[in-house]
Structure 1
């Protein structure tokens, strides 16, 4: 292991939050910062050369385009700084998977980039904040961490941005990976990789756009008529993702309304409200006939990010969009 200079970009979240009481559930995100955590890590004898820079101090439910622009710029600056060997992003957990995917698609990773959060603030009983940050430092400092894409460290596991998803509302074991599982396991004193580095490209998979096109997610349910589709289309989105039933299925009335959207030039991606499982083409819905795109392993929120990036690059036809969603690396 080679320990270099690590830059931490702080975006708020629970990991930097302050609890209302030692044992309660209520807290305010982004209020304490991460300096106390770094002090505790140093006291424990875990020594890394670290500097911190504040990007935002919000709960990740309020992360959006403004914060993403600032974060992307800050990561690029760190990547281009020869004194920086690795980058950590502290972030809330609610939208961590979306931020991670956006960065993963629009950055190359010659240096390790790790996003980390916490489910409990550092000043509450049973906090995971200190351990998660120490684990992230352990990962970024490892010589085998580069060329793995943007990673997320939570609950003693290292996940890819492509596969990570939040799976629980409470508790410290709140994240999993689909379909491939975690890249490795980590503790403050150890790190075990399950596979070699796999991201050797020298250019980003997507360009970072000047703005993100509007793409809405429609959550489907039993007994649904086309009114919600019409309501979404009235806002003039540039794309629509459905959180569909089962394998991205939808009531007949919804299929008809979405087919009209495709005819009007609005790409439609079928994802699923089910947590795990692939959404394949032409199973219960005839994608070829209606012009829909199957999300494959992307859940609705990640499918939205990918569709936004693809539309921003000018991709709107079913074939080119499906090719991007079919990629598994």
Structure 2
């Protein structure tokens, strides 16, 4: 059986970070280049041939549209290149869920695309990056990973981009979880166990990638939130607002009134929740207020989906709600 050829696109992050000490907490992300990293991985005995390209070498807190554009273009080209069987993206963990979800919505699914990161820098005691990387290569080289959209590999678990979220600031085993689904597979450098069949029936991209995403701020709700904050966040070019509400997307009545006024003027309003897990369903007043319920999406993913919809001219609340109910329809 031929060995799979995997394209590795490096963006930096903790997986390529260095602290200068095995026990030091603070470190600098993105210190190891892709050629050096692949040289370190040669001793792992990976059953794949790897080609590496450096897209960026930064902490993922600095990832944004400019890097997404290059990353998207490189992956899209590799998906149609018969030389490659899969793609691995090394990425910082802070915004991995956002990059994964954006790529998931705007790329075809004919080949595996896997994001991977680490919770500890490369020179730390208990560095998890090489094991995570070996796991990601195994997933990207498995033909059964196709049709599952973009995947994220962390801590011997495989997550779908739609579900994955970072839930801890430290710790290598349980820093990521999936909601509403948990992990979709278990993986080690020597084994891979999928929990079900591929779920992406349509292989094409759901949305067109756009580097120029509309202005959509996130309003974080807290007790006693001043509704005037809405006016300070919403500028003349704002097309939508995502509310990180309390509980099931709730907010003070004064804030609700202010947002309903903006919705009546054509600004898309999506109610999400600041709670880590749980659905935000439609409530009776949503029809009157012209609000959209984020369903299973957390505020940061709701923002990306809303931006893609607005970029395609989809601004009707009912049409936006349909996309949140089933973004892959």
Please indicate the TM-score interval, normalised by the length of the shorter structure: over 0.9
Q: Deviations over 1:143-162 (max 9, x none)?
A: 21111100000010000000
Corresponding residue of 1:295: 294
Q: Deviations over 1:291-314 (max 9, x none)?
A: 000000000000000000000000
- 1:324 paired to 2:314: no
Q: CA deviation at 1:142?
A: 1.2
**Contiguous gaps of at least 5 residues in structure 2:** none
Corresponding residue of 2:145: 145
Q: TM-score, normalised by structure 1?
A: 0.96
Q: TM-score, normalised by structure 2?
A: 0.96
Cα distance in 2 for partners of 1:188, 1:35 equals: 21
- Give the aligned CA root-mean-square deviation in angstroms: 1.4
**Contiguous gaps of at least 5 residues in structure 1:** none
Cα distance in 2 for partners of 1:223, 1:195 equals: 45
Secondary structure in 2 aligned to 1:102? helix
Cα distance in 2 for partners of 1:100, 1:150 equals: 6
Q: CA deviation at 1:209?
A: 2.0
- 1:311 paired to 2:313: no
Contact 1:3–1:142 (8 Å) recurs in 2 = no
Corresponding residue of 1:7: 7
Cα distance in 2 for partners of 1:60, 1:247 equals: 29
- 1:275 paired to 2:276: yes
Cα distance in 2 for partners of 1:278, 1:259 equals: 21
Secondary structure in 1 aligned to 2:153? strand
- Cα distance change of structure 1 residues 92 and 235 upon mapping to structure 2, 3 Å threshold: farther
Corresponding residue of 1:65: 65
Count of residues in correspondence between the two structures: 327
Cα distance in 1 for partners of 2:68, 2:211 equals: 11
1:227-238 matches, within 5 Å, as: 227-234=228-235, 236-238=237-239
Single out whichever of 127-136 and 210-219 deviates more from structure 2: 210-219
Corresponding residue of 2:205: 204
Q: CA deviation at 1:20?
A: 3.5
- Cα distance change of structure 1 residues 34 and 121 upon mapping to structure 2, 3 Å threshold: farther
Q: CA deviation at 1:328?
A: 6.8
Q: Deviations over 1:151-205 (max 9, x none)?
A: 0000100000000000001111200000011110000011000011121313211
